[in-house]
Structure formats: C-alpha cells, structure tokens
Amino acid sequence: MLSEQNKVSVNIEDEMRKSYMDYAMSVIVGRALPDVRDGLKPVHRRVLFAMNELNNDYNKPYKKSARVVGDVIGKYHPHGDSAVYDTIVRMAQDFSMRHPLVDGQGNFGSVDGDSAAAMRYTEVRMDRLAHELLNDIDKETVEFGPNYDDSLEEPLVLPCKYPNLLVNGSEGIAVGMATKIPPHNLGEIIDGLIAIINNPKLEVEELLEHISGPDFPTGGFIMGRDSIHQAYRTGRGIIPMRAKAMVEQNSRTSRESIIVTEIPFQVNKARLIEKIADLVRDKKIEGISDLRDESDRDGMRIVIELKRDSIPQVVLNQLYKMTPMHSSFGIIMLAIVKGQPQILTLREVLDHFIDHRK
C-alpha cells in the first residue's frame, strides 16, 4: 500500500479533462488528420514508406498486397491489417483518388460500392506520382522519428514534390473536428504555385485565375463559382455538384433517353440507380419506361428511357431534385500545421507547401 506521503490528490474533473484532451490530440495528430506539408495521414505515409523500403516502385514488379500489409503493421503501424489494407485499396481506386498513389492489379472495388478482393489475391506497387512524394527521402531531406517500439525509424513527413493535400484531397473525422478537402487538377495547382513564387503578394482573386476549382475523379459539374471562392478564402464552404447528363434519341424507335455519363463525387452508382427505380415504382417520377446500366471499362453510361409523351427536361429536373444526381460537397480545409490542427485558406496551404520544399 502507498504511504500517506506518496498519495497525490487529484480532482477527477481536472483529470478527466486532461486525459480526454490528451486522447483527442493523439487521435487528431496521430491518426485522423493530414499533415499540410505532404497531405498524408500517418497510415498513408507508412504504407508508401514501407513500399519504398520493399523497392515496390512503379517500374518494378508487383508484390502481393498481403506482403505490403505485413510490413506496414509489423514495422510501423501496429493496428489491424484490415485498416491498412483498406487504406491501400482506396489509394488504388481511380474513382476515389484524383491521382491514385497505388497501382493495383486485381479487384480493388468499384464505384458501385463493391468490395475489393482479399489481400492475398491482389497485387500492388507504387504509382509514378507516389514515387515523386518519396523522391530524395534518402538524402536527409526530412526528419525521421522512432517507430512504435523504437526498433526502426520512419519519416515524420515525406519530401513531396507536389502539393498532395490539394491534388488528392483528404477526408477524416477526429475528436470534435473533421476535415474534408476536395481533389484538384495537378496542372492548375502547379500553375498556382508558380504564380505565388513569381509574385509572393498574389491575392486570392488572382490565384483563382490559375486554380478554377476542385477536379473530382468521377467528373460531373460544379454549379456556380461563388461557393468555391468562399471556400478558398475562408477554408469552409459547400459546393453543389450535378451529374453530367444528355438527351439522346433512338433512331429506330424515335424514343428519347437520358444518358448519364458522370456522377457527383462519392455517389454510389448502384444506389443511385436503385433510388431512381424506387421513385419510378412509387410513381413519384412517371415519365420513365426503362432503366439500365450500360457502364463498361470504357466509361460510365446509365440509360434512362423515357415514355413517348415525356418531356426530357422535366424528368431530368425531377431526377436532380429527388436523387443524388444533384448533391453537395462540404469543404473544411483542416490540416495539421506544426503539430496543431488549423483551418486554412487555399493560399495558406500553398504557402506551407512552399515553405516545406525550401
């Protein structure tokens, strides 16, 4: 038993507050939010570093996903293998990432929400752009720290030749806060960087001449520019998105169809089709005679056949109103800056990247 002189009285409310804050910051910094410099959360950084250590580069043969997962959880990330594999899968999906960082071979899921094959069946290697995130890491360009058991060292940030936080975006939920950064066009982001380097006093309005807005991997339209400008100026905003659809006429039957070729980011195609079918069955939309998915490896194609007396624009407006063909993307540009979470403007994100590369 402790002697009276070794006992320390602690107010339970103070201890709960301190312990919860310690836990919250651990989740925020160590798991849920990306670093502003390389745009990666720790698990993504560890996956790419482990692949680099395995020489699993874009110009080398593929390796079994299970091999990479084993190295990551054994050396750097002592958590469940499913969490690491899910990270690898997402980095290989061209409908989730504007520029995939993992080149996958096998079934890595689909925009319909299908799951990827088990890690023992799929193979991976780094994509070319992932190689550019790690280039020069062996030249003492970034700081390293001990891994979870002090047996190895891992990078605390990657050298990162381009602003990955903006190019691929990021999404995560921490304790009491969340981040949701949309992906952008790589060429536009580089043009914006060059403009800032040439003119350090560049205003946000001038920067927007180079960066027109987010560039989502599934395509679609962004409705209006005011919401984009607000998000870039303040770090917060809501962007309305709409599917790309056109009206085609069948030369044989003379019937018209609505053809959907692009859908809003993060919309599940199979659930969208199911939603349209439910609306037709419940007679909330009455101008549709047939619905089918003709998507293939060449691209997306949802065919919505119309009844002879239907007005295509009326049906299309109903689809936008009642289905995820019209949805929104809420932007919160939150990232870790010098160990602390901060909401950043577009200019601030680019400035932090330039400082990192210096």
Q: Which of 20, 23, 121, 148 is an active site residue?
A: 121
8 Å CB contact between 41 and 172 = yes
Name the amino acid, one letter, at 88.
I
Between vectors from CA 327 to CA 210 and to CA 34, what angle results, nearest 5°? Answer: 60
CA distances from 200 to 36, 90, 163, 197, 211 (A): 19, 36, 17, 6, 16
Q: Are 320 and 223 in contact (CB under 8 A)?
A: no
Q: How many helices (H) and strands (E) does the chain have?
A: 12, 16
320 is an active site residue: no
67 in Cβ contact with 91 (< 8 Å) = no
φ, ψ dihedrals at 228, nearest 5°: -65, -45
Residues 6+ apart with CB under 8 A from 331: 180, 181, 182, 231, 235, 236, 237, 238, 239
Q: Distance between CA atoms of 35 and 165, rounded to whole angstroms?
A: 8
Q: What residues have CB less than 8 Å from 182, skipping those under 6 apart?
A: 169, 214, 216, 239, 265, 329, 331
Q: So which residues are the catalytic ones?
A: 121
